[in-house]
């Protein structure tokens, strides 16, 4: 549903709480045309307001509003993350949403941010290893980590304790074989006994190819920072993006199963697996990440993803969880060409 001056009989102002939020940050609420979308019935879905300058065809500000207070943390976290990036001078208004306001109305969070104009990455990419848009997106993720890397934020032991807590939750939810338990516990032990610094980085948290636009000037713009973490894990964003890109490339070649596509393009010898290895190594060199931590971070990334996925699954669906299957595949294929090149 869109409401605004374009419909002559519906010259309705934005809701009062939205006008007050805009006025509070010095924006004249009366100067905007507006519209809203409220899709679906699920409480996890957000109400989205679009604010347009009077003569503009594209919105200037987008405002997200939760439907249930239990989801407020998502918008609160996104506002915090974007504010931290702005303070650090990471990105600019062309490629990074700028935080405008965070308010609450009736116990529900509403968060305003600037709109990024661009074309979806998935419509621009040619899904090959030499795709210029894929490479600039990877470069942007590397640059994000370089600019925010902090080798003193946590010791390897502190990181290991946090990941061990996640592992205990993971192991209580999913039925793991003894081999899988032993393997994952060995990865955590490697972190626990690490001597070299393990830098934290600012983590986007959900940098799949679906969350990227390509701007008119050809730059990558990552959207949806609700899962961001200012002191996050290195490598996780990079390999998550690479995984989504490899799966998309496999589907373009007719391999529709996500795990089969990941195995073909990421784990086995391919032009994309060469890109994976080279980008992985370039990332680690750029932030001075010791090689001993590469393998534990790779496997705990998928463990963390499977744990997040578990919040949306129940009963028998747990054993069919996508990221559980991916983690198991990587453990079973740990002698695959790509993982051997990276970790042996």
Strand partners, 222: 212
pLDDT in tens, 72-117: 999 999 999 999 999 999 999 999 999 999 999 999 999 999 999 9
Highest CATH level, class, for 119-343: alpha beta
For every residue of 19-80, DSSP letters joined together read HHHHHHTT--GGGEEEEEE--SS-TTSPEEEEEEETT-SS-SEEEEE-SSGGGHHHHHHHHH
Measured in residues, the chain has a length of 344
Element (H, E) at 299: helix 294-310
Element (H, E) at 132: helix 132-148
pLDDT in tens, 183-224: 999 999 999 999 999 999 999 999 999 999 999 999 999 999
Are 240 and 209 a contacting pair, CB within 8 Å? no
Tokens of 63: 């405002």
Strand partners, 126: none
Work out the burial of residue 195: count CB atoms within 10 Å of its CB; fewer than 13 is exposed, 13-18 middle, 19 or more buried.
exposed
Q: Is the pLDDT of residue 2 over 60?
A: no
Collect all residues with Cβ–Cβ distance below 8 Å to 253 and sequence separation of at least 6.
none
Q: Hey, how many other C-beta atoms are within 10 angstroms of the C-beta on 103?
A: 20
pLDDT in tens, 144-160: 999 999 999 999 999 99
Are 228 and 101 a contacting pair, CB within 8 Å? no
The answer to whether 16-114 and 119-343 have equal CATH topology is: no
The CA–CA distances, whole Å, from 82 to 109, 143, 152, 222, 332 equal 16, 16, 22, 11, 38
Collect all residues with Cβ–Cβ distance below 8 Å to 240 and sequence separation of at least 6.
206, 207, 208, 301, 305
Query: Between 4 and 48, whose confidence is greater?
Result: 48
Topology of the domain comprising 16-114: Phosphorylase Kinase; domain 1 (3.30.200)
- The ranges assigned to domains in the chain are 16-114, 119-343
pLDDT in tens, 262-305: 999 999 999 999 999 999 999 999 999 999 999 999 999 999 99
Q: Please report which residue ranges of 200-263 form alpha helices under DSSP H.
A: 236-252, 258-262
Tokens of 6: 């374009």
The dihedrals phi and psi of 237, each to the nearest 5 degrees, come to -60, -45
Task: pLDDT band for 11, please (50, 70, 90 cuts).
Answer: low
């Amino acid at each position: 549903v869109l409401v605004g001056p374009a419909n002559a009989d519906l010259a309705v102002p934005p809701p009062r709480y939205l006008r007050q939020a805009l006025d509070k940050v010095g924006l004249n609420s009366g100067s905007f045309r507006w519209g809203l979308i409220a899709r679906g019935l699920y409480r996890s879905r957000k109400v989205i307001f679009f604010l347009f300058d009077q003569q503009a065809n594209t919105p200037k500000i987008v405002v997200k509003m939760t439907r249930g207070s239990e989801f407020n943390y998502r918008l609160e976290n996104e506002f915090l993350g974007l504010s931290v990036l702005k303070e650090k001078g990471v990105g600019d208004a062309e490629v990074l949403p700028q935080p405008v306001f965070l308010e609450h109305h009736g116990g529900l969070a509403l968060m305003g941010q600037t709109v990024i104009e661009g074309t979806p990455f998935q419509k621009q990419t040619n899904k090959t290893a030499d795709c210029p848009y894929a490479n600039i997106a990877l470069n942007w993720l590397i640059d994000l980590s370089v600019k925010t890397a902090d080798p003193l934020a946590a010791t390897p032991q502190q990181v290991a304790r946090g990941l061990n807590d996640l592992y205990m939750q993971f192991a209580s939810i999913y039925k793991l074989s003894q081999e899988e338990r032993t393997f994952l516990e060995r990865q955590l032990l490697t972190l626990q006994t690490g001597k070299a610094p393990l830098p934290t980085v600012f983590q986007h948290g959900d940098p799949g190819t679906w969350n990227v636009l390509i701007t008119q000037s050809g730059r990558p713009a990552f959207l949806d920072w609700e899962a961001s973490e200012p002191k996050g894990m290195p490598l996780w964003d990079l390999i998550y993006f690479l995984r989504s890109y490899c799966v998309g490339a496999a589907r373009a070649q007719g391999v529709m199963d996500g795990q089969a596509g990941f195995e073909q393009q990421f784990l086995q010898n391919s032009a994309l697996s060469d890109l994976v290895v080279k980008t992985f190594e370039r990332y680690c060199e750029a932030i001075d990440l010791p090689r001993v931590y590469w393998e534990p971070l790779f496997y705990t990334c998928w463990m963390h993803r499977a744990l997040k996925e578990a919040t949306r699954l129940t009963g028998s669906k747990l054993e069919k969880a996508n990221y559980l299957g991916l983690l198991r595949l990587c453990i079973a294929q740990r002698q695959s060409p790509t993982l051997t090149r990276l970790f042996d």
